A and B are shown apart, each in its own frame.
Chain A
Amino acid sequence: MDAAASDVAAVLTQLGAVAVGLAVLARLGHRTGVSPIPLYLLAGVALSAGGPIDLSPGLVEIGGQIGIVLLLVLLGLEYTGEELSTSLRAGFPAGIVDLVLNLTPGLVLGLLLGWDPVAALLLGGVTWVSSSGVVAKLLQDLDRVGNRETPAILSILVMEDMAMAVYLPAVAALLVGGGVAAAVGSLAVAVGAAGVALVVALRFGPLISRVIFHRSDEVLLLSTFGLLLLVAGLAERLQVSAAVGAFLVGITLSGQVAERARGLFGPLRDLFAAAFFLFFALSIDAGEIPGDLPLACGLAVVTMATKIATGWWAARRAGVGPRGRVRAGTALVARGEFSIVIAGLGVTAGVQPELGPLAAAYVLVTALVGPLLARGSDALLALIRALRGVFTPRPAREGAETS
Chain B
Amino acid sequence: MSDVTETKLPGVGVRHDFTTHHGDRIGMIAHRAGHRDLLLYDRDDPDSCGQVVRLEEDDVRTLADLLGAGHVTERLTELQSVPGLSIDWVPVDGGSACSGRRIGEIGLREDLGASIVALVRDGETIPSPPPDLTLRQGDTAVAVGTPEGIRAMHALLQGD
Chain A residues engaging chain B, CB cutoff 8 angstroms: 78-79, 83-84, 86-87, 132, 136, 143-151, 154-155, 157-158, 259, 320-321, 323-324, 327
Q: Are B52 and A151 in contact (CB under 8 A)?
A: no
| 7 A-B residue pairings within 8 Å (CB atoms) | A83-B8, A132-B11, A146-B27, A154-B9, A154-B11, A157-B11, A321-B45
Main secondary structure on chain A at its contact with chain B?
Answer: helix
Interface size class, chain B:
20 to 34
Q: A79-B11, A83-B11, A151-B8 are in contact. List 12 more A-B contacts (CB 8 A).
A: A83-B8, A83-B10, A136-B11, A145-B12, A146-B27, A148-B46, A148-B47, A149-B47, A150-B9, A259-B32, A323-B48, A327-B47
Q: Could you say which of B17, B32, B47, B52 has the most chain A C-beta atoms within 10 Å of its C-beta? A: B47
Instruction: List chain A residues, Cβ under 8 A from B41.
Output: 146
Main secondary structure on chain B at its contact with chain A?
Answer: strand
Complex interface bits, B94-135 against A, C-beta within 8 A gives 1, otherwise 0:
000000000000000000000000000000000000000000
Q: Separation in Å of the B4 CB from the closest CB of chain A?
A: 14
Q: Are B10 and A158 in contact (CB under 8 A)?
A: yes
Q: Are A145 and B29 in contact (CB under 8 A)?
A: yes
- Closest residue of chain A to B49, judged by CB? A146
The A-B contact count (CB < 8 A) is 63
Given A79-B10, A83-B8, A158-B10, verify A146-B39 contact (CB < 8 Å): yes
Q: In whole angstroms, what is the CA distance A324 to B48 when docked?
A: 7
Q: Separation in Å of the B23 CB from the closest CB of chain A?
A: 15
Q: In whole angstroms, what is the CA distance A327 to B45 when docked?
A: 12
Q: Separation in Å of the A400 CB from the closest CB of chain B?
A: 16
Partner pick for B12 among A84, A154, A323, A327, CB 8 A cutoff:
A154
Partner pick for A87 among B10, B29, B47, B48, CB 8 A cutoff:
B10
- Closest residue of chain A to B54, judged by CB? A143
Q: Separation in Å of the B40 CB from the closest CB of chain A?
A: 9
- Closest residue of chain A to B28, judged by CB? A146
Partner pick for A143 among B15, B27, B52, CB 8 A cutoff:
B52
Instruction: List chain A residues, Cβ under 8 A from B11.
Output: 78-79, 83, 132, 136, 154, 157-158
Q: In whole angstroms, what is the CA distance A146 to B49 when docked?
A: 7
Q: Separation in Å of the A31 CB from the closest CB of chain B?
A: 21
Q: Does B88 contact A (CB under 8 A)?
A: no
Q: In whole angstroms, what is the CA distance A86 to B10 when docked?
A: 10
Given A145-B37, A146-B39, verify A154-B10 contact (CB < 8 Å): yes
- Closest residue of chain A to B51, judged by CB? A143
Q: Separation in Å of the A147 CB from the closest CB of chain B?
A: 5
Partner pick for B48 among A136, A154, A327, CB 8 A cutoff:
A327
Q: Does B7 contact A (CB under 8 A)?
A: yes
Q: Are B45 and A145 in contact (CB under 8 A)?
A: no
Complex interface bits, B127-153 against A, C-beta within 8 A gives 1, otherwise 0:
000000000000000000000000000
Q: In whole angstroms, what is the CA distance A84 to B8 when docked?
A: 12
Complex interface bits, B8-38 against A, C-beta within 8 A gives 1, otherwise 0:
1111100101000000000101001000010
Q: Which 6 A-B pairs have the closest CB atoms?
A: A324-B47, A146-B39, A148-B47, A83-B10, A143-B52, A78-B11
Instruction: List chain B residues, Cβ under 8 A from A143.
Output: 49, 52
